[in-house]
Amino acid sequence: MVKLSFTSRRSPVYSRKGIVATSQPLATAAGLEILARGGNAADAAVAAAAALNVTEPTSTGIGGDMFALYYSADTGQVTALNGSGRAPAALTLDRLKNEGLLAEALPPFHAHTVTVPGACAGWCDLIAKHGSLSMADILAPAIRLAEDGFPVAPITAHFWARGAERQLKSALNGHELTIEGRAPRAGELFRNPGLARTFKLVAERGAVGFYQGPIVEAIVGVIKEAGGCMSEEDLAAHTSTWENPISVEYRGLRVYECPPNGQGITALIALNILEGFDLASLDVLSPEKMHLMIEALRLAFADAKWYVADPAFANIPIAELLSKEYASERRKLIDPKRAMPDPQRGAPAASSGTVYLSVVDQWGNACSFINSNYMGFGTGIVPKGWGFTLQNRGHNFSLDPSHPNCLAPRKRPYHTIIPAMVNRPPSSPGRGDRGEGESLYASYGVMGGFMQPQGHVQVLSALHDAALDPQSALDLPRFCIDAEQAGGRVAIEEGMPKETLDALRTMGHPVYEVSGYERALFGRGQVILRDPQTGVLCGGSDPRADGCAMTL
């Protein structure tokens, strides 16, 4: 066994008055500003999300979608918000066939991949249910950043340059997010008056200001010009949905995810399988532990890639997929010494591009929040004069008529973005606090396409099984399996012990090493833990991004 004691070179952040952790320091500062003004975790999360729209449009925006989990310290309950949009009513398989687009998937940046942007409605709905400040107050820091300008961070500048070449230079009005056709350089000031204009309208009128009126006219007009078919009625009809979160117990903790159409169920299936192995006895980066986690996630993805779809259109056996009995049967498929070449989905007996941020406030409320354009700038298409790009989330639809995730009018696609929340049950030993509800253990997440459930599993295991602090758990080298191909290659981040790589190859895993800026493949996470006896918070922020965790 490889022996390794892992300690981060960066200290975690401790506080009793609240922590905000995001991938951009200016967005973290925006969230802290709201906490300092008496706002709670929901208020600060939306403020940080809006600031990220300004400072990291390479990953997120009001032209994309969002999901959130909110923990209320008063009730000990977790609520789930699905802020994802739907396909246009006029978008059908027959239409794609007539236009010569009925292939394995839609072209990634085509206007038909634009689903209704759900982020704005999600922001407003989160504040209406859990917030305490007005949208005008919450959006003020982001408006100021967009109007006055901000110095672009180094990693963001790198991916902005990639997006400028890949999407913005050819997309309609993409030049609005460039400086004379090029991406801003690290440290260079960038202003976005169009986005400030968008936020001012939302601050004044709420979600109505986004889904009706001049913004909608610009969205529909540019999509039509680009060859799409979204209508003003599609946007006016959009609604977020409040849902019951799904969860499993993992070694005495209750782990929460948003239900499908999100892929959070993937992480829960994998954790259920891994619970049957003594991971705490294995070194944190040993080949034995990496092998078990890779295999559990391969099995989880085999299920998720079939069963995750819009529950309004498909019958998803969630309870069965998350049962301990099903996990036990799937666990038997894992050979501790050999990799599975082609894991297949199971058949449970049925009764039926992105930023992640985390906030815990001084009262103990927590918001686990994620917002995304999908592939970087999404389509790169900008509604003229409004300063944001439109997502390409519809690229995740299947075009196979027999698939539960097949494209259909006003249907939500398989969604990769997932926030996570972990609680201690009321009967948990050593809780220290009072109350009948659950106690917050962690508000956390890892962004990055199909890496996200893989990151959730790896980071939670590092926190709970290996007892690492949040910063060390985020700094730990990761693996990323190719979830889109059965038996696909496994990327291994630089810093993984050579002995581990060699052993994984011997077991039959097709591994390869990744370094430099391509480490973005492994996602970028934020973690805030809460001590149940003292109430002290401990936060960390991913070194693969420009951000930080900060406290009041």
pLDDT in tens, 21-50: 999 999 999 999 999 999 999 999 999 999
Cβ count near 51 (within 10 Å): 29
C-alpha to C-alpha distance for 460 and 444, rounded to whole angstroms: 9
Same domain (yes/no): 331, 184: no
Place of tokens 């340059």: 161
Q: How far apart are CA 52 and CA 541, in angstroms?
A: 15
Confidence of residue 471 (pLDDT cuts 50, 70, 90): very high
Is residue 125 domain-shared with residue 207, that is, in the same domain? yes
CATH label of the domain that carries residue 257: 1.10.246.130
**CA atoms of 20 and 386, how far apart (whole Å):** 28
| Euclidean distance between CA atoms 156 and 174, whole angstroms | 17
The mean pLDDT of 119-123, rounded to a whole number, is 98
Task: Copy the structure tokens of residue 186.
Answer: 């690290």
Helix (H) or strand (E) holding 500: helix 498-507
CB burial readout 318-348, b (16+ within 10 A) else e: bebbbbeebbeebbebbeeeebbeebebbeb
Tokens of 198: 């968008």
pLDDT given at position 431: 47
- Which DSSP helix (H) or strand (E) runs through 371? strand 366-372
Residue 96 and residue 109 in one domain:
yes
Asked if pLDDT for residue 289 goes beyond 80, the answer is yes
User: Are 423 and 506 found together in one domain?
Assistant: yes
Is 535 in contact with 528 (CB distance < 8 Å)? no
Question: CA angle 139-140-142, nearest 5°?
Answer: 70
- Tell me, what's the pLDDT at 353? 65
Position with higher pLDDT, 484 vs 266: 266
76-96 mean pLDDT: 97
**Residue 68 within any structural domain of the chain:** no
Task: Return contacts of 273-280, CB within 8 angstroms, 24+ apart.
Answer: 273/299, 273/300, 273/327, 273/330, 273/331, 273/334, 274/250, 274/457, 274/461, 275/250, 275/251, 275/327, 276/327, 276/328, 276/331, 277/331, 279/461, 279/465, 280/465, 280/466
| Average pLDDT for 68-78 | 96
Q: Structural domain of residue 220, as residue ranges? A: 26-63+79-242+375-396
The answer to the question of residue 195 being in a domain is yes
Q: Residue 133 falls within a domain, yes or no?
A: yes
Q: Are residues 248 and 233 in the same domain?
A: no
Co-location of 307 and 421 in the same domain: yes
Assigned domain for 71 exists: no
Residue 444, token pair as written in the block: 């956390």
The structure tokens listed for 37 are 């003004």
Higher per-residue pLDDT: 435 or 145: 145
Tell whether 172 is covered by a domain: yes
The number of beta carbons lying within 10 Å of the beta carbon of residue 476 is 21
Give the mean model confidence (pLDDT) for residues 330-343.
91
Please check whether residues 38 and 56 belong to one and the same domain: yes
Query: Which tokens in the block code for residue 279?
Result: 């991971």
Q: Which helix (H) or strand (E) holds 205?
A: helix 193-205
Which pairing describes strands 490-493 and 479-481: parallel, antiparallel, or unpaired?
antiparallel
- Rounded to an integer, what distance in angstroms lies between the CA atom of residue 43 and that of residue 135? 8
Q: If you average pLDDT over residues 470-497, what whole number do you get?
A: 90
Dist. CA 72–CA 367, nearest whole Å: 9
Q: What is the mean pLDDT of residues 466-470?
A: 96
pLDDT band at 334, cuts 50/70/90? very high
**Rounded average pLDDT over 193-198:** 98
500-550 confidence digits (pLDDT tens): 999 999 999 999 999 988 888 899 999 999 999 999 999 999 999 999 999
% helix / strand / coil in the chain, to the nearest 5? 35, 20, 45
In this prediction, residue 436 has a pLDDT band, given cuts at 50, 70 and 90, of low
Both tokens of 129, joined, read 């249910």
pLDDT category at 245 given cuts 50, 70, 90 is very high
Beta strands in 448-508 (DSSP E): 479-481, 490-493
**Is the residue at 368 inside a domain?**
no
Residue 3 has pLDDT above 60, yes or no: no
**Cβ neighbours of 351 (radius 10 Å):** 8
In this predicted structure, what is the pLDDT of residue 463?
97
User: Residue 286: helix, strand or coil by DSSP?
Assistant: coil
Is the distance from CB of 263 to CB of 308 less than 8 angstroms? yes
Burial (0-12, 13-18, 19+ Cβ within 10 Å), 361: buried
Q: What is the DSSP letter of 413?
A: P
Q: DSSP assignment, residue 316? A: -
Examine residue 19 and state whether it is found in any structural domain, yes or no: no
Choosing from 22, 156, 354, 500, the catalytic residue is: 354
Q: Are residues 453 and 314 in the same domain?
A: yes
Contact (Cβ atoms closer than 8 angstroms) between residue 381 and residue 394: no
**Do both 170 and 188 map to the same domain?**
yes
In this model, does residue 425 exceed pLDDT 80? yes
Mean of the per-residue pLDDT values of the chain: 94
* Whether residue 168 sits in one domain with residue 31: yes
What is the percentage of the chain residues whose pLDDT exceeds 90? 89
Do 259 and 237 share a structural domain?
no
pLDDT at 428 over 80: no
Q: Which residues are bridge partners to 253 per DSSP?
A: 250
Q: Is the pLDDT of residue 5 over 60?
A: no
Which letter does DSSP use for residue 178 in this model? S
> Count of CB atoms within 10 A of residue 242's CB?
12
- Would you tell me how many other CB atoms lie within 10 Å of the CB of residue 221? 14
Q: Does residue 35 form part of some domain?
A: yes
Q: How far apart, in whole angstroms, are the C-alpha atoms of residue 469 and residue 538?
A: 8
Total structural domains within the chain? 2
Q: Per-residue pLDDT averaged across 340-349, rounded?
A: 72
| Res. 105 pLDDT band, cuts 50 70 90 | confident
Query: Is the same domain home to 337 and 225?
Result: no
pLDDT tens, position by position, 259-288: 999 999 999 999 999 999 999 999 999 999
What is the structure's pLDDT at 486?
Answer: 65
Does the annotation count 92 as an active-site position? no
